[in-house]
Amino acid sequence: MTPLLLLMLAVAGTRPTDTALLQIAPECRPVDSPKRLPTVAAMVDSAALALQIARAPVIESPEIRLGVAFPRPSGPPQAWVIGSGVAPEARARLAELVQAALRADGAPPGTTFRIHLRVATPIGVRVERSILCAPVPLDSATSTQSAVQLREGSGHAPTHSWKAVIRQRIGADGQGLDARLRPGSGRPEIDRLALDPIFARRWRPAMLDGRPVAVWLANGRVELAR
């Protein structure tokens, strides 16, 4: 049987009740960019991938998911196995096979998505949206504020108060990289004092398809730091 006959292709979005999207943690959500996922045919050299897997099976599990990213601004597409239920050497080999089969022009730079790969006969490939999990604070403080209050000087000095949202960038290591007040107080020294505690915080980093990533966090919404 030829590799082409071994391969069955399915495009993401054909199964809106996919359990992979339903059984995710509350802080996780499917990434909505790009609005339209690339097709398998445009993205993967299906015949080459099927041939390599058929010649040298690399894992025992019949199905597995891989994260795929097209780096910005340049570089070859990347692939990695999602989850820890596969031996490290098998994960590396499978990711290598998938990465070699990806078409460099299959998606615009910055695109991320998942590949659901069935490695048992019949071999199959399906494209799914990436899953982004928000960073989790390692303390009890909240990540955003509806009001900021600071007392200037000492004694009975008035409190400087205004409503603001803190927009902060959190790195892949869980460290705060940037923070901004929207709106600011109009006084830079007051803004700096309000943001000092934000930079001191530590987080469990955001995860995109099982890998830590940098994100912007504001008012409960998480965005990838492209």
Q: What residues of the chain score a pLDDT lower than 70?
A: 1-24, 57, 60, 84, 140-162
What per-residue confidence (pLDDT) applies to 149? 55
pLDDT tens figures, 155-194: 544 566 667 788 899 999 999 999 888 877 777 888 888 7
Question: pLDDT at position 16, please?
Answer: 37
Q: Which helix or strand (DSSP H or E) is residue 127 part of?
A: strand 123-129
What is the model's pLDDT at position 20? 44
pLDDT number for residue 151: 52
| Dist. CA 48–CA 125, nearest whole Å | 13
Strands of 7-10's sheet, edge to edge?
A: 7-10, 123-129, 112-118, 63-69, 78-81
**Residue 48: strand, helix, or coil:** helix
The helix/strand/coil state of 52 is: helix
Q: What is the pLDDT of residue 52?
A: 85
131: β partners: 30
User: What integer pLDDT is reported at residue 66 of this predicted model?
Assistant: 93
C-alpha distance from residue 185 to each of 5, 67, 97, 148, 197 (Å): 65, 42, 54, 9, 16
The total number of residues written for the chain in this structure: 226
What residue ranges do the domains of the chain occupy? Answer: 3-133, 136-224
Give the containing element (helix H, strand E) for 73.
Answer: none
pLDDT at site 140: 64
Instruction: Print burial letters for 96-131: b (CB count within 10 Å at least 16), e (below 16).
Output: ebbeebbeeebbeeebbbbbbbbbebebbbbbbbbb
Q: What is the pLDDT of residue 50?
A: 84
**pTM score, two decimals?**
0.77
